[in-house]
Structure 1
Amino acid sequence: MAFLLLTVIYLIFIGLGLPDSLLGSGWPRMQVDFAVPSSYAGYVSMTIAFMTILSALFSPWVIKRVHTKWIVIVSILLSVVGLWGFSISGQYVLLFFFAVPYGLGAGGIDASVNHYVATHYSGAVMNFLHCFYGVGAVISPVIMAQALKYAGWQEGFRWTSYILLGILLICILALPLWRKNEEERDEENVESAGIRDTWKVPGVLPTLIAFFAYCSGEGTCFLWVPSYFAGTKPGLGEDVIASFGSLIFAGLMLGRLISGCISNKLGDRLLIRIGIMVELIGIILVILPVPGYLTAAVGFVIAGTGMGPVYPGIQHMAPANFGKKYSAAVIGLQMASAYVGFTFMPAVFGLLQQELGIGIMPVYLMIFAALNFGMLELTYRTIARMEK
C-alpha cells in the first residue's frame, strides 16, 4: 500500500511538471498569432505565478484543515481547466483569465505535496519526487513541438490537459491509499505555527531570499530558453526551437535522479553546494562564443543538472532546520518567495532583453546563482549559531 501511494505521489508530480514548460515552448509561435511583443510572455507567466503565490500563502491554513489528498484533487482539476482554457484562447487577453486556475492549481499541488513528503519521507524520496516533476516538464515541450508540427500550439495545451485529466482520475481511484497517514497528519498539524509567527524564526528570511533567487533563475530558463536559441542561433526551425524548452528540464530530471541516489549519504547541504557549482559551469558553457547550438544546449542541460538538488533540498530541510511546528508555514513561505521569483524575474528579463538583447541571459542567470549560494550559506550559519 505504501509503495502504491508513493507511485501515485510521483505521478502527481509528473502532472505538476507538465504545464510549466508549455508556455515557453509555444510562445515563439503564440507571439506571432497574437501579434504581440516577445516580452508579453512575461506578463502571462507573471499572472500564473502570482496566483501560485496566493495559493502558497494560504497553504498552511488549508493544510491544517484539509487532507493533502483533497487538496491534490481540487488542484489538478484547476490545472486541467487552465490548460483547456489556454487551448481555446483566440485572443491574448483571454490567457490572463485562464492563468488564474492554471496558477492556483500548481501552487496547491506544490505546497501540499512537498510538505507531505518532507514530513513523511527521506531526502532521497524528495529528490526522486522532483525528478518526476522533471519528467513532466521534459514531456510537455515535446508535446508542444509535435503540436506545432502537425496541428497548432492550441493542441499542445489541449493534449496536455487530457493527460492531466487522466492523472486526476487515477488520483480519485487512489484516495483510499492516503488513509494510513491521516491520524499522523491530524496530530502534527494541531501544533502547526502560522505565517506570522514563522517570520520571527532565525534563518527563515535568508532561506526565503535564497528560494527567490533560485526560482528567478529557474523561471527565466523555463520561459526564455527557446527564445534564447531563436535569438542567438539563426536558421533553426520552429519545432526544433520549441524542443529546446526541454533542455533545462532534462538537466533538472538528471540532477534529481542522481541526487536521489546519493542524498542520504551526502546530505542536503552538501548536495546543494555541489549543485550550484555545477550550475555555474553550465552557465559558463552557454556564454562561450562557439559556433552552432550544441555547446549552449549542453550548457543548459548541465546548468539544469546543477539546479536539480537545490529546490527539493531546501524544502526537505525545512522540518530539520525549523522544526515540524514551523515546517508547513516555512514551506508555504518558501513557495511564495519562489513564485515571486517566477512572477517578476522572467518578466524583468523580458524587458531587459528587448533593450540589451537576449544574449545577456547567461549573465542574468549567474547573478541569481551567486545570490542563491550566498543566502543559503547565511541560513546555515544562522541556524548553527542558534543551536549553540
Structure 2
Amino acid sequence: MYSFLLVIIYMAFISLGLPDSLVGSAWPVMHTELNVPVSYAGMITMVIAAGTVVSSLLSDRLTKKLGAGLVTAVSVLMTAVALFGFSVSGSFLLLCLWAVPYGLGAGAVDAALNNYVALHYASRHMSWLHCFWGLGAAASPYIMRYCLTGGYGWHSGYRAVSIIQFVLTAGLFISLPLWKQANREKGDGARNAAAVKEEKRISENPSSGKTLSLLQTIRLKGVPLVMAAFFSYCAVEQTMMLWASSYMVQVRGMDVNLAAGYSSLFFFGITFGRFLGGFAADWLGDRGLIRIGIATIVVGLILVAAPVKTNMLVLAGLVVIGFGCAPVYPAIIHATPYNFGRENSQAVIGVQMASAYIGTTFMPPLFGVLASITNISSLPFYILILTVLLLVMSEKLNRTVDRRRNR
C-alpha cells in the first residue's frame, strides 16, 4: 500500500514543479502582448509568494483537520484552476488575481507533502521526490516553448499544464482512501530507533496532537535556527538561478545565448545530485548530507570565482554548486520530525516553507541592488556569506536538538 501511494506522491511532486518555471519561460512574450514592462513579472511572483507564505503557515491546521491527502488534492486543484485562469487571461490585472489561488495551492501542497514524506518514508525517497520536482520544473519550459514555436501562443502553454494538473487532481481524489489506509499501516521500515521511540512518546502524550499557533511554533527551541538555515539555503539556490547567466556574461564575457544555456548546468547539478544522493541518503543521514552539501557548495564557489581565463572552471563550478545544493533542502525537511517531534513537524515545516519563500523572494533582488552599487562579480562572495550562515545555523540547530534529546 505504501509503495502504491508513493507512486502517487512522486506524480504529485512532478506537478509541484510544473508551474514553477512557466512565468519565467513565457514572460518575454507575455509582457509584450499584455503591453506591460518586463519588470512586472516580479509583481506576479510576489503575489504568488505571498500566497505560498500564507498557506504554508496554515498547513498545520489544515492538514490536522482535513488530512494530508485531501489537502494535497484540493491544493493541486487550486493550482490547476489558477493555471487555467492564466490561460484565459487577457490583462495583467487578471493574472495578478489568478496568482492568488496559484500561490495558496502551491504553498499548502508543498508543506503537506513534504511533511507526509518526512513522517512516513526514508530519507532516500525525500531526495528522489525532490529530483522529480526538478523534472517537472524542467519540463514546463519545453511545453511552453513547443506552444510558442508552434504558433499556439502562451495561453496554450498554460492550458496544457493546467490539463496535466487536472488529470493529477482526479488521481489524487481517487487515491484518498489509500492515504487513510496507509496511515494505519507500517511504513517501509526506514524509520530509525529514535523515530520509533518518538512515536511511543507521542502515543503516551494525549495532548501531542494539538495544533500550534504561529507564535507557539516559533517559540519551540531550535525553530528560529532552522528557519534561518532554510532561508539561507533557498536564498542561495534562487540567487544562483537568477544571476548565474548575468555573471557569466558580464564577468566572463560569454555570449548571451551561450550563457543562458550554460546557466542550466546549475539546475542540472541539483536534479542529478538529488537522484544520486538518494542512494547514499540513508547511509549518510540528514546531518551528513547537509554538511557534505555545504562543503561542496564552497568548492563550487571557489571554481566560479577562480581568476583564470578559461570558462571551463566556471561551468564546472555551476555543476558542483548544484550538486552541493542538491541534498540540503530534502535533508532539512526530512530531519524535521526528528528535530522537533513528529507531532510538531507539520507546524515547523509550515514555517520553514514560509521562511524559504521569503528568502527566494527578497534575497535575489537584494543582490541585484548590491550589484548595481558594487559589481556583479561579487556574486560568489554573496553566495558564500549565505552559505556560511546556513552552516552556522545548521550546526547550532544540531547542538540544540542534541541537548534536548539527551536530557
Deviation at 1:298? 4.1
Query: SS in structure 1 opposite 2:20?
Result: coil
1:91–1:24 distance in 2 versus 1, CA, 3 Å: same
Q: Superposition RMSD on alpha carbons, in Å?
A: 3.1
For 1:203, give the aligned amino acid: G
Unaligned runs of 5+ in 1: none
Task: Give the aligned partner of residue 122 of structure 1.
Answer: 122
For 1:113, give the aligned amino acid: L
1:17–1:227 distance in 2 versus 1, CA, 3 Å: farther
| 1:307 aligned onto 2:308 | no
Deviation at 1:35? 5.7
Map 1:312-351 → 2, pairs under 5 A: 312-351=330-369
Task: Give the aligned partner of residue 16 of structure 1.
Answer: 16
Unaligned runs of 5+ in 2: 186-198
Deviation at 1:118? 1.0
Q: Retained in 2: the 8 A contact 1:217–1:369? A: yes
Query: SS in structure 2 opposite 1:18?
Result: helix
**Relative contact order: is structure 1 or structure 2 higher (C-alpha 8 Å, sep ≥ 6)?**
1
Deviation at 1:104? 0.9
Deviation at 1:55? 0.4
Task: Give the aligned partner of residue 228 of structure 2.
Answer: 209
* Inter-partner Cα distance in structure 2 for 1:124 and 1:133: 14
TM norm structure 1: 0.87
Deviation digits for residues 71-114 of structure 1 (CA, Å, limit 9, x no counterpart):
11111111112223333444444332222111111111111111
| 1:257 aligned onto 2:258 | no
* 211-220 or 24-33, which deviates more: 24-33
For 1:121, give the aligned amino acid: Y
Task: Give the aligned partner of residue 112 of structure 1.
Answer: 112
Task: Give the aligned partner of residue 72 of structure 1.
Answer: 72
Map 1:276-291 → 2, pairs under 5 A: 276-288=294-306
Task: Give the aligned partner of residue 238 of structure 2.
Answer: 219
For 2:336, give the aligned amino acid: A
* Inter-partner Cα distance in structure 1 for 2:296 and 2:319: 10
Deviation at 1:332? 1.1
Deviation at 1:211? 0.6
Map 1:1-388 → 2, pairs under 5 A: 1-31=1-31, 33=33, 38-151=38-151, 152-183=153-184, 191-194=209-212, 195-225=214-244, 235-237=255-257, 246-288=264-306, 296-353=314-371, 360-386=378-404, 387-388=406-407
Query: SS in structure 1 opposite 2:19?
Result: coil
For 2:285, give the aligned amino acid: G
Query: SS in structure 2 opposite 1:202?
Result: coil
Q: Retained in 2: the 8 A contact 1:46–1:347? A: no
* Inter-partner Cα distance in structure 1 for 2:304 and 2:130: 24
1:178–1:189 distance in 2 versus 1, CA, 3 Å: farther
* Inter-partner Cα distance in structure 2 for 1:148 and 1:283: 36
* Inter-partner Cα distance in structure 2 for 1:33 and 1:375: 45
1:375–1:109 distance in 2 versus 1, CA, 3 Å: same
Q: Retained in 2: the 8 A contact 1:141–1:245? A: no
